[in-house]
Amino acid sequence: QIQLLQSGAEVTKPGSSVKVSCKASGGSISTYVIIWVRQAPGQGLEWMGGIIPMLGTTNYAQKFQGRVKISADKSTNTVYMELSSPQSEDTALYYCAKASETEVYFDHWGQGTLVTVSS
Amino acid sequence: VLTQSPATLSLSPGERATLSCRSSQSIATNLAWYQHKPGQAPRLLIYDASKRATGIPARFSGSGSGTDFTLTISSLEADDFALYYCQRRDNWPPMYTFGLGTRLEIK
């Protein structure tokens, strides 16, 4: 059973950058789509982008193009999400999730990482 | 776009809950439902519109195809009061969309 363990809560300043990790155990995630989703306070789930670690291919929601970088380290079974120039409205819970083999839905989720952007 | 209704549903334990999700384009049965509780990761309930995920109780069922989908909880238990999201995948460009959610609260 694959488990996704995310890095701990972050407090970051506006205009800096923040990087969150998602490490898998119990199986390799290299051939699966791994996505990042966030939930801002009082808001719903928002897809940010994803990666297939084996191929290194990424795609991003238009809203996050140029501001989010998703990467993977196959050797450690870990996926990363780096958010550049965060602003207060980026304060949110960030989740990673593994897609099914059909790449249509998400069957395993990380526990979430709270990112707080504050000066 | 995925439109979920109602935004909030107030019911009592033992009652039947019916949650709706409408897609702006036809997606066959490529729809999933998730349950989300505060402080927890979202939990996959239903995939391919009507298939229960592993370990999901039989009181949860999904139906629909094309543009209109329904999640039904046959008899609400205390543990079922949470946020519920539907989600679809778009083939091109490849992207994922979540609905805004339905909050199921105790009446």
A67 lies within 8 A of chain B by CB: no
Tell me whether residues B87 and A61 touch, CB distance under 8 A.
no
Cβ neighbour number for residue B50 with a 10 Å cutoff: 17
Tell me whether residues A47 and B95 touch, CB distance under 8 A.
yes
- Residue B16: CB partners within 8 Å, gap ≥ 6? B72, B73, B74, B75, B76
Predicted local distance difference test score (pLDDT) of residue A78: 97
Cβ neighbour number for residue B59 with a 10 Å cutoff: 15
CA distance B74 to B72: 6
Q: What is the mean pLDDT of residues A3-25?
A: 97
B44: DSSP letter: E
* pLDDT band with cut points at 50, 70 and 90 for residue B49: very high
Tell me whether residues B89 and A95 touch, CB distance under 8 A.
no
List of chain A residues whose C-beta atoms are within 8 Å of the C-beta of residue B41: 95, 109-112
Q: What is the mean pLDDT of residues A57-78?
A: 95
* pLDDT band with cut points at 50, 70 and 90 for residue A3: very high
Q: How far apart are the first and last CA of chain A?
A: 40
**Which of B2, B96, B103 should be substituted to probe chain A, the one whose Cβ sees the most A Cβ atoms within 10 Å?**
B96
Higher-confidence residue of A93 and B93: namely A93
* pLDDT band with cut points at 50, 70 and 90 for residue B39: confident
Q: Are A115 and A61 in contact (CB under 8 A)?
A: no
- Residue A81: CB partners within 8 Å, gap ≥ 6? A19, A20, A22, A36, A48, A49, A68, A69, A70, A94, A96
pLDDT-above-70 percentage for chain A: 100
Closest CA to B34 of A44, A80, A60: A44
A42 lies within 8 A of chain B by CB: no
Q: What is the pLDDT of residues B64-78, one digit of tens each?
A: 999 999 999 999 999
Predicted local distance difference test score (pLDDT) of residue A72: 97
Q: Are B10 and B19 in contact (CB under 8 A)?
A: no
